[in-house]
Structure 1
Amino acid sequence: MPETAGNRDEWIYVVTDIEVDGPWPGANSMRSFASVAVTADGEERGAFEAVLEPLPGAAPNPDTYAWFQTHPEAWAAATTDPQPIPQVLTRYVAWVQSLPGPRMFTASPIAFDGNWVDYYLRRFTPYGVIQGPYEKDRLFDGPGLCLRSYAAAVVGRPVAEISAGSLPAEWYGDIPHTHRAIDDARGYAHLLGVLFRRARALQAPAG
């Protein structure tokens, strides 16, 4: 069905990737993150990237840290020139609020990346990723979008089979998955546009 003014997707999708030094927010730290804001047509509306100081009292998980030592460029990108967390989150909130609405947080998968970003937002700002019905001042709109789940639905495969390496590289804009947050966020943002186009094609009448 062709898009009209009444059914055009007006949302801005804030596609986000994080790099963390362990699995548990609080005990471990989010060392860097990046968000790329895109329309459903794949038009980029802005990007945000930051390296964070570790949380007070936190320490890297030994297994995660050992993995990063086998990817030194990713570790360097996630830890070089870190900034104080409250300052970064204040800037991030202002950046998100500067985007035209409605705005939806998007990550792959949202259960992991979204949990970390929500923890940091609620600890250092008045906001969250998914805010309850009685929170009137909201940073994001809608329920959030799990890019991994959406990809599984569009391509008709189990969610467990979807990963950065399981879909064609061109769907990510041929942007390598480097574990540098801004690279991976841009790849995921490109993927979202591809999936939206494929979903629209599936809805088009045959013939």
Structure 2
Amino acid sequence: MDVYFSADVETDGPIPGPFSMLSFAIVFAGTYDGREFKRADTHEKRVYHELKPISSQYEQEALDVNGLDRQRLLLEGEDPKEALTKAANWIREIAGEGSPVLVAYPLSFDWTWLYWYFVNYCEQGSPFDYSKCYDIKTALSVKTGMPIAQSGRSSVPSHLRSHRLHTHHAIDDAIEQAEIFANLFEWEPPHGRDKPQT
């Protein structure tokens, strides 16, 4: 059984290593056994961590977007090893005998950061192995028939959107994403494909 976890990260630059992940949230989003999808009843099952930066480099533009205080995190942020190990243990506990699957929108950004951090800072490595992931952007493209280039968050049809605001706070955005994911997973477009409804 797949056990889905919606994840969002906030960073101070474009790639891990030279730059730092400043916060991340992971939210239980649902399960799928190959026949039945069950969305999460609530989004209370979640973890959130703010991390100590790992390098001196940063891009002010990234900080302006997420509003995190990098200087505060240098003093008060969690050690990445402790935070990533706690998160991995929590994911495995929630998943039980199921297979944890990372869900993100777009997957390429959040996966890159979380996989790199799990591999570098968690003794057990990534709870999502090296490829257990689900890209909402690709799923939207397949179900609507839109090209990938036109399948960004702003193109989500109104009946699939979350009612939550996209705030660039990791918890808010991970929950918003979990709702879009579940709406999209459950949706059966007429005649196989449907164009966005604005």
TM-score band by shorter chain is 0.7 to 0.9
> Aligned partners of 2:60 and 2:46: how far apart in 1?
31
Match of 2:28 among 15, 23, 37: 37
| Deviation readout 1:39-72 (Å, 9 max, x if unpaired) | 13321472111111101x332124434xx1xx5x
- Asked if the contact 2:85/2:123 (under 8 Å) is kept, the reply is no
Partners of 1:42 and 1:192 within 8 A in 2: no
Structure 1 Cα separation of the partners of residues 128 and 38 of structure 2: 19
Residue in structure 2 matched with residue 48 of structure 1 by the alignment? 47
- Work out the percentage of aligned pairs sharing the same amino acid: 25
Query: Is 2:9 the counterpart of 1:18?
Result: yes
Which residue of structure 2 lines up, in the alignment, with residue 91 of structure 1? 86
Change in Cα spacing, 1:94 to 1:163, as seen in structure 2 (3 Å) is same
Aligned residues: 178
Return 5+ residue gaps in structure 1 as ranges: 1-9, 130-138
CA–CA distance in 1 between the matches of 2:159 and 2:52? Answer: 34
Would you identify which runs of 4 or more consecutive aligned residues in structure 1 move more than 4 Å?
A: 77-81, 200-203
SS of structure 2 residue aligned to 1:41: strand
Residues 10-40 of structure 1, C-alpha deviation per residue, up to 9 Å, x if partnerless?
4211111111111021111111111111213
> C-alpha distance in 2, partners of 1:31/1:16?
14
SS of the residue corresponding to residue 76 of structure 1 reads coil
Residues 153-192 of structure 1: matches in 2 within 5 Å? Answer: 153-168=142-157, 171-192=160-181
Q: What secondary structure, in the 3-state scheme, does the structure 1 residue paired with 2:13 have?
A: coil
Q: In 2, distance between residues paired with 1:41 and 1:181?
A: 23
Structure 2 portions without partners, runs of 5+: 31-36, 193-198
Equivalent position SS for 2:163: coil
Q: 2:58 aligns with which of 57, 60, 79?
A: 60
Match of 1:195 in 2: 184
